[in-house]
Structure 1
Amino acid sequence: MSGSNVWSRSREKIRLFSELFAQCSGEAAAYGKCVAATTTGRQELKKDMCAKEFEALKTCFTNAGKKRAK
């Protein structure tokens, strides 16, 4: 496996992520707000506290990736 090929794939994934993130900015903002609100002060984020927001973001990324593949 050549080193340049690894970097090419990595750059493509990073570029793709930024495109998907741009398409899901509303869902990402909602998830970020939930995380920020549940971790004020010294509170720790507990599992499933923002599950609804995370699922919405995950679904958005999946759908955006499928649209891009077509």
Structure 2
Amino acid sequence: MSGSNVWSRTREKLRLFPELFAQCAEEGAVYGKCVTATTTGRQELKKDLCAKEFEALKSCFTNAPIRD
């Protein structure tokens, strides 16, 4: 496995992130609100507390159409 391939794929994903996030703003806001609500003060986020919201955001990222 070539190291340059890894960086090329990573760069491509990062290039697309702003567009994906714009298309998934609602899901991102819902996930962010869940994280905020479950981490008051210095409390750490516990695994799976926002799993449903994270899966919705992940699904949106995966299924969002990419415009070139």
Range of TM-score over shorter length: 0.7 to 0.9
Structure 1 unaligned segments of length 5 or more: list them: none
Structure 2 unaligned segments of length 5 or more: list them: none
Partner of 1:17: 17
CA distance in 2: counterparts of 1:15 and 1:60, whole angstroms: 17
Structure 1 stretches of 4+ with a deviation exceeding 6 A read: none
The sequence identity of aligned pairs, in percent, is: 71
Partner of 1:30: 30
Scaled by the length of structure 2, the TM-score of the pair is 0.77
Scaled by the length of structure 1, the TM-score of the pair is 0.75
- Higher gyration radius (CA): 1
Q: Over aligned residues, Cα RMSD in angstroms?
A: 2.3
CA distance in 2: counterparts of 1:59 and 1:14, whole angstroms: 17
Deviation (angstroms), 1:13 = 2.9
Tell me the matched-pair count. Answer: 63
Deviation string 1:5-51 (CA, Å, 9 cap, x unpaired) is x57x72x4322111000000000000001001100112110000000
